[in-house]
A and B are shown apart, each in its own frame.
Chain A
């Protein structure tokens, strides 16, 4: 077995520096790599490009990096929950590339699987398609979207083993599996790190080959963005 474990988050982020491009998993605040984000805030890296579906909220998730002005460019599909983000974007301090959610997923998956680009119908005829190659297949128009390139992917899984195999939980799965292996180095943090053999191979969502470093995460807040309940 090829061991992927590192002992802590400091070791997991070794090699990061200013100006790098990072992928970060999560949808809203669900399934975000909380430990890695905290460490990137501590390291005070600057001029980062972050590819992540959302940009966190003002005081949590990627909002923490935005607050310290560590991010130069954000690539996301929806950024509506973050006032500081909107302020930085409208003032021009922050460069923003808005990408349809399914296209964002496809561009991560393309990077993971060795496709240089994919055709998608999303965004055809809109400003998202401006400057991009388009092509007709069977009477319908498609936009050519290139695979992302990133230095590090930071993902969060529910369970993982020392071989780097990952299992996700509920809708916290979202973009996390697609970012594994889509960057030069993939760092996975897990709620529960187990010995090889403890996870049923039938249940693995992401094989360890896509993961370079895995560590046992700690102190997960798992904040809920919109707490909605019904009466008993």
Chain B
């Protein structure tokens, strides 16, 4: 079973040379730490920077330089700043190659819910609805089950949707799963995790074909 850093490490392998990547808040942010250093990748943060760098050194924080999680960041050589319309123009216009974000629920048809729990939690969707409506390559990073132990990979989402039929891949602490038109297709198991464990933690249709390999993290 993986921890959050393990999930990020596995997703980092999906990041290819020459990609522009948008990382959501939470586990997705950690992906930047594990991208191979022999490839060229630029991170976009939807509040208005392309070429986002690591956190600044202490004493060098700048209130005018933050990421979408409102954290202080740096700009790498070759970076650019832009307004929110241009930023979402990059996203809507499908110029961003890969979007990695968290979710509360994903359905077997690719629907995603991650912005609202009616009557309890309403933080807003931020840029998530724009991202999932336009991106062609969307990886969800999340835990397989919620705190109550209930599956987050469902037949149908129970929470208000963020987007419909948009998720292409899911990486959890248990598995790598592809969303197909027939349901969740199991691609890889986390180290030490059995197919049975994954099946038990998945409410939606789980397609298992042949031997399922264990994830290679390095």
Q: Which residues of A contact B46 (CB under 8 A)?
A: 101-102
A192 CB → nearest B CB, Å? 13
Q: Chain B contacts of A122 at CB under 8 A?
A: 92, 129-130, 133-134
Report the Cα distance A128→B128, complex, angstroms. Answer: 13
Take A127-B160, A169-B64 as given contacts and tell me if A228 and B55 are in contact as well, using a CB distance cutoff of 8 Å. Answer: yes
Main secondary structure of the interface of B (DSSP, over half): loop
Q: CB < 8 Å: which of B48, B67, B124, B134 contacts A77?
A: B124
Contact indicator per residue, chain B 36-64, by CB within 8 Å of chain A (1) or not (0): 00000000011111000011111011111
Interface residues on B, range: 35 or more
Asked if B216 lies at the interface with its beta carbon under 8 angstroms from chain A, I say no
Is residue B162 within 8 Å, beta carbon to beta carbon, of the partner chain? yes
CA distance A223 to B84 in the complex (A): 21
Q: Is B198 an interface residue (CB 8 A)?
A: no
Complex CA gap A162/B111 in Å reads: 51
In the complex, what residues of B have CB within 8 A of residue A76's CB? Answer: 124
Q: For B56, B73, B129, B130, which residue has the most chain A Cβ atoms within 10 angstroms? A: B129
A230 CA / B127 CA spacing, docked (Å): 26
Contacting residues, chain B, for A90 (C-beta < 8 A): 119, 122
Are B69 and A27 neighbours in the complex by a CB distance under 8 Å? no
Q: How large is the interface on A (under 10, 10 to 19, 20 to 34, 35 or more residues)?
A: 35 or more
User: Would you call A225 and B70 a contact (CB within 8 A)?
Assistant: yes
Q: How far is the CB of A225 from chain B (nearest CB, A)?
A: 4
Measured in the bound complex, the distance between the Cα atoms of B85 and A172 in whole Å is: 14
Is residue B12 within 8 Å, beta carbon to beta carbon, of the partner chain?
no
A170 touching B62, Cβ below 8 Å:
yes
Q: Are B84 and A174 in contact (CB under 8 A)?
A: yes
A158→B62 CA distance, assembly (Å):
13
Residue interface bits A111-146, CB-to-B below 8 A is 1, else 0: 000000000111111111000000000000000000
Chain B residues, CB < 8 A from A227: 61, 72
**Per-position contact with B for A158-199: 1 when CB-CB < 8 Å, else 0?**
100000000011111111111000000000000000000000
Query: Which B residues have a C-beta under 8 Å from some C-beta of A?
Result: 45-49, 54-58, 60-67, 69-73, 75, 81-85, 87-88, 91-92, 111, 115, 119, 122-130, 133-134, 160-164
Nearest 10 CB-CB pairings of A with B? A102-B88, A80-B123, A102-B130, A125-B164, A170-B64, A100-B129, A105-B84, A222-B63, A78-B126, A78-B124
- Partner-B contacts on A (CB < 8 A): 27-31, 53, 76-81, 86, 89-90, 96, 98, 100-106, 108-109, 120-128, 158, 168-178, 205, 222-232
Given A101-B125, A101-B126, 16 other A-B residues pairs in contact with their CB atoms under 8 A: A27-B84, A30-B63, A79-B123, A96-B122, A98-B124, A100-B125, A126-B161, A126-B162, A170-B75, A171-B64, A171-B65, A171-B66, A176-B83, A224-B72, A225-B66, A229-B58
